Amino acid sequence: MLTSQEAGPDANVLYRKDVEGAVVIHSQGFGLNYRRGTHVNGINRKFIEVELVTMNDPKETKTYNSTYPNSKGFYYGELNSVLVLRAGVGYQKVLFGKAERERKSVEIRYSVFVGPSLAFAKPIYLEIIQSSSNPGEFQLTTERYDPSVHNLSNIYDKASYLTGVSQTKIYPGAYAKFALSVEYSDRHNNVRAIETGVVIDGYPKAVPIMATEKNYPYFLTLYIDLIIGKKWY
């Protein structure tokens, strides 16, 4: 049996509020999540969340210019580097609660979230090989990727990530999320959980990630969150 200190302060009190942070790993990238929750009762909770994730094309592969061994690599055909910002409201319900005062018991919940989604598409800039008047030497220029001009023979490397930030385009849309989670903390006032689920982001028009693959007006991703947090009342 747990002592009151081991269980966390006020172990038998229904905590009304909590805050959570998570590392997000999903089928097309990774990111971070922040949530604030309010308990409606013992099994229902309302949330607000903010989430920022990278969004890659599942078919992109890292490529190197084999002629120049010092090349650090680039994703051939990538038009834009995409970040997705989500801000939503959610509802969570406990399906199976923790056994009272059992250290190793778990809580199983399901959650749904909806809200606006913004896709930020920053154009890709590359280091392009230019011939030199001296045999065996070359110069590099930084240019925005143009699939009609740049190819595997004249691309040396990817330019700095910040290059082209001022040209970022924003695609407004919306998202919906469904999740199942397991909360396993052995202290009543802590949150330790693993969450897995599916998210769909939808936009009025396609978000251009690749020049060499078809782009779609939606992203459908599977994810897993590693969550830590605190509760209070």
Give every strand in the sheet of 138-144, ordered side by side: 138-144, 125-131, 155-158
In-domain check, residue 130: no
Weakly modelled stretches of the chain, pLDDT under 70:
1-13, 100-103, 133, 135-136
In-domain check, residue 90: yes
In-domain check, residue 176: yes
**Would the pTM of this model clear 0.85, i.e. be above it?**
yes
- For residue 16, what are the domain limits? 4-58+80-122+164-232
Number of domains the chain contains: 1
Going by C-alpha positions, the residue among 129, 136, 122, 133 that lies closest to residue 151 is: 129
In-domain check, residue 228: yes
The span from the CA of 51 to the CA of 34, in Å, is: 6
In-domain check, residue 149: no
Q: What is the pLDDT of residue 136?
A: 65
Residue 134's alpha-carbon distances to 123, 131, 139, 140, 155, in angstroms, are 32, 8, 10, 14, 20
For 218, other C-beta atoms within 10 Å of its C-beta total 13
Q: What is the pLDDT of residue 221?
A: 98
Q: What is the pLDDT of residue 131?
A: 77
Going by C-beta distance under 8 Å and a sequence separation of 6 or more, which residues neighbour residue 182?
A: 106, 107, 108, 193, 194, 195
In-domain check, residue 155: no
**Helix, strand, coil percentages in the chain from 3-state DSSP, rounded to 5:** 5, 60, 40
Answer whether 63's CB lies under 8 Å from 212's CB.
Answer: no
Q: What is the pLDDT of residue 14?
A: 73
CATH number, domain at 53?
2.40.160.20
In-domain check, residue 145: no
Q: What is the pLDDT of residue 69?
A: 73
Interstrand relation of 107-123 and 169-183 (parallel, antiparallel or unpaired):
antiparallel
Q: What is the pLDDT of residue 72?
A: 81
In-domain check, residue 225: yes
